[in-house]
Structure 1
Amino acid sequence: MVQQVRMTVLGREYTLDLSGKLTGYWLVFLRLLVGWWFLHEGLNKYATPGSFGAGWFLEKRGTIVSPVLNAFAGGTTEAAIDALVPLGELLIGVGLILGALTRTAAFFGAFMMFVFYFGSEHWRRGLVNGDLLGLVLFVTIIVFGAGRVWGIDSYLETTSTVRDRPWLRYLLG
């Protein structure tokens, strides 16, 4: 049995043939694994108040994105980021586990991993690390529309709201 993933990228339709049920199971496994990872990280930050502070990457010097991150260091912006990172991890984890707004959740997860990868100094010790692998996992979830396999997105895409507004498919899947 051959499964197909249909996606629209920049207005052009693409169809990717996937071989057998194994591919679908693998996508669900990746989505659940990454979802649990982020849900767990978010819950840990709430369970141990004060354990997370954004200052470690906002105040770095000499990284690729440090000029941008330094603008957010200190004051109310840093306090907002201290609150938004755990909340974002929690929402990304829930979205991936449920398969709801999967591409949106994965996009924000990829954004966070991009900032963590280029904002930290771990890449100086080697280009491949956990942050880069997390970024790759999120991009994989986006590309394959992993929410369409045993996720709420598979139901949402059949509704008239999404059929009448095809651009919503960019947020789902």
Structure 2
Amino acid sequence: MTTRQANWFGHSIDFDYAASVAGYTTVLIRLVTGWWFFHAGYTKLGGFDASGWMVNATQGSPIHGFLVWAAGTPWMLEFTNFMIPVGETLIGLGLLVGALVRLAAFFGGVLMVFFYLGNADWAHGYVNGDLFGLLMFVIVGVFAAGRIFGLDAIIEKTATVRQRPVLRYLLG
């Protein structure tokens, strides 16, 4: 067991955790989330159209007006139809191989916020699959999951990253 200390709302809290289990769990979350997004994006490549969802499925959503505008604006709809499958595929791939994990987690989180607010399926409460997806990206990014059995551990040792430590915020 490993003991850590955290500061929560001005109070110091000590807690124990199993370091090896935490590392394996972090990698598992990264891989499952990566496969989920990679598969979702890859299966949409070459034939994705978000206009129907943006206009019809988002009724009652707090961002419905924005999505209707985006669906009715040709360049925005083309951008969305290209970026959703490509973005999901690249985010998933980054998580699967453990490269640029924090960057991938950030953009995955952005997509999940749009999905959460766009779906607005809150008939049974505010906790749903989209919120859990957002939580998975937060966990992967905060715990720097790419440093455990991922390419980020190798990338961080390069001279480029050592000379520019700010790049570590994208890795991990």
Same fold (TM over 0.5): yes
Give the TM-score taking structure 1 as reference length.
0.82
Inter-partner Cα distance in structure 1 for 2:168 and 2:3: 19
Inter-partner Cα distance in structure 1 for 2:156 and 2:167: 8
> Which 4+ runs in 1 deviate beyond 3 A?
1-4, 16-19
Contact 1:101 1:172 in 2 (8 A): yes
Inter-partner Cα distance in structure 2 for 1:97 and 1:77: 29
Inter-partner Cα distance in structure 2 for 1:160 and 1:3: 33
Query: Which residues in structure 2 correspond to 1:3-82 (within 5 Å)?
Result: 19-46=18-45, 49-50=46-47, 52-59=48-55, 60-74=58-72, 75-82=74-81
Inter-partner Cα distance in structure 2 for 1:168 and 1:89: 22
Inter-partner Cα distance in structure 1 for 2:114 and 2:80: 12
Any gaps of 5 or more consecutive residues in structure 1?
A: 5-15
Any gaps of 5 or more consecutive residues in structure 2?
A: 5-14
Inter-partner Cα distance in structure 1 for 2:102 and 2:17: 19
Alignment match, 1:99 = 98
Q: How many residues align?
A: 159
Inter-partner Cα distance in structure 2 for 1:26 and 1:104: 20
Q: 1:79 to 1:124 in 2, by over 3 A?
A: farther
Instruction: Flag the structure with larger Rg.
Output: 2
Inter-partner Cα distance in structure 1 for 2:3 and 2:101: 19
Give the TM-score taking structure 2 as reference length.
0.83
* Amino-acid identity (%): 46
- The answer to whether structure 1 residue 140 and structure 2 residue 117 are counterparts is no
Inter-partner Cα distance in structure 2 for 1:19 and 1:164: 34
